[in-house]
Amino acid sequence: MLTYIIERDIPGANKLSASELCDISAKSNEVVANLGEPYTWITSYVAGDKIFCIHEARSPDVIRRHAELGGFPVNKITEIAAVIGPATGK
């Protein structure tokens, strides 16, 4: 599987309540469980009017299917080429 960052435009995302974020998470988990193929939601970041999600999937088409079944917007899908951090520079 490949790793992707998914950009979702959701006006007011940073103002969603904990309950609303819980509902979104539960829906995503439900869709992943019933997708019928390997798919891993790693994490998501809420920032401003966007949610950035890190998912593992076979292709962008599978990510689009997950989004369609869950009712989530998908504005951009980018394959992650590498992961770096403080330890990378040592």
Note the pTM of the prediction, 2 decimals. 0.91
Per-residue pLDDT reduced to its tens digit, 53-68: 999 999 999 999 999 9
**What range does the domain containing 21 cover?**
2-89
Q: What is the pLDDT of residues 21-37, one digit of tens each?
A: 999 999 999 999 999 99
Question: Regarding beta strands 2-9 and 76-79, do their DSSP bridges make them parallel or antiparallel, or are they unpaired?
Answer: antiparallel
Domain CATH for 16: 3.30.70.3090
- What's the domain count of the chain? 1
Q: What is the pLDDT of residue 23?
A: 95
pLDDT for the residue 81: 97
Q: Are 2 and 42 in contact (CB under 8 A)?
A: no
Mean pLDDT across 67-71: 96
Non-local (6+) Cβ contacts of 75 within 8 A are 7, 8, 9
Helix (H, G, I), strand (E, B) or coil at 75: coil
Residue 26 contacts residue 34 (beta carbons within 8 Å) = no
Give the start-end residues of each E strand in the chain: 2-9, 40-47, 50-57, 76-79
